[in-house]
């Protein structure tokens, strides 16, 4: 079985599990008393944000490894992870405002967390545009590695922005030093969704990496 086929299997499994996340979140997870049904957007928004940040973190780490070892497998992986991360960042940036409208009364506000996540999305897009604009493989890999490392540096600021600045955005409920601040059934749904989104990331990256390999073999990568 090729890498692309294995990637399709992983993605198919993850999509089937995503259906289970939807059923669990919509039917079997209690409605939050103050936010109502809109709170359930959290079970997609937060795991999408996690996957986007995981993707950018791995773009940055692969970029560092590429610059140290000059191994093009890292560059290929970084490119795959960046494209997949852009998709998850798009999910984060669309579901967030849909939650914000009924809860905050506005689709968007220029507070630190939201602005930094928008900047993260622009970094993903800029990374992909840069790769498309530079034809020579070595230059493309080096330039994009520098941008990938900038993305890695941005991540702590995105995560800690709710502590560093006065912001409307809720503080972390799971990825924080103290115990998760969620009832058990809500936490189980969130953790299940985290797992499924991570599996989706893996399946997508496997396929995208296989695509990059095939393009290079054809000489147009």
Residue 94 engages another protein in binding (rule: CB under 8 A): yes
Closest to another protein by CB, 18 vs 134, is 18
* # residues near another protein by CB under 8 A: 42
Long-range contacts (CB closer than 8 Å, 24 or more residues apart) made by 155-158: 155/53, 155/56, 155/57, 155/60, 155/120, 157/116, 158/53, 158/113, 158/116, 158/117, 158/120
- Select the residue interacting with another protein from 66, 74, 99, 192 (CB under 8 A): 99
Closest to another protein by CB, 66 vs 204, is 204
Residue 6 engages another protein in binding (rule: CB under 8 A): no
* Rounded least distance, CB 160 to another protein, Å: 26
Site for another protein in 125-184 (CB under 8 A): none
For another protein, what does the binding mask look like between residues 12 and 51, x meaning CB under 8 A? Answer: ---x--x---x---x----xxxxxxxxxxx--xx--x---
**For residue 40, what is the DSSP state?**
G
* Rounded least distance, CB 49 to another protein, Å: 12
Long-range contacts (CB closer than 8 Å, 24 or more residues apart) made by 7-12: 7/203, 7/204, 7/205, 7/206, 7/207, 7/208, 7/209, 7/210, 8/203, 8/207, 9/203, 10/199, 10/202, 10/203, 10/206, 11/200, 11/203, 11/204, 11/206, 11/207, 12/203
Question: Residue for token digits 């936490």?
Answer: 187
* Rounded least distance, CB 166 to another protein, Å: 25
Residue 204 engages another protein in binding (rule: CB under 8 A): yes
- With CA atoms as reference, report the closest residue to 113 among 100, 128, 130: 100
Contacts with another protein by CB under 8 A lie at 2-5, 7-8, 11, 15, 18, 22, 26, 31-41, 44-45, 48, 87, 90-91, 94-95, 98-99, 101-103, 200, 204, 207-208, 210-211, 214
């Amino acid at each position: 079985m090729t890498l692309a086929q294995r990637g399709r299997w992983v993605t198919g499994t993850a999509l089937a599990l995503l259906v289970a996340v939807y059923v669990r979140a919509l039917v079997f997870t209690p409605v939050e008393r103050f936010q109502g049904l809109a709170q359930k957007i959290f079970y997609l928004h937060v795991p999408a944000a996690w996957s986007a940040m995981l993707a950018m973190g791995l773009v940055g780490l692969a970029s560092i490894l590429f610059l140290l070892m000059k191994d093009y497998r890292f560059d290929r992986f970084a490119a795959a992870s960046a494209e997949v991360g852009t998709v998850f960042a798009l999910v984060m940036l669309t579901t967030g405002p849909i939650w914000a409208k009924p809860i905050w009364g506005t689709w968007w506000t220029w507070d630190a967390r939201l602005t930094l996540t928008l900047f993260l999305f622009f970094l993903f897009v800029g990374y992909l545009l840069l790769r498309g604009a530079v034809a020579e493989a070595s230059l493309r890999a080096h330039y994009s590695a520098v941008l990938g490392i900038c993305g890695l540096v941005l991540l702590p600021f995105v995560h800690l922005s709710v502590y560093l600045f006065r912001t409307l955005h809720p503080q972390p409920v799971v990825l924080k030093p103290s115990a998760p601040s969620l009832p058990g059934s809500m936490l189980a749904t969130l953790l299940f969704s985290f797992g499924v989104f991570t599996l989706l990331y893996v399946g997508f990256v496997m396929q995208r990496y296989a695509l990059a390999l095939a393009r290079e073999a054809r000489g147009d990568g």
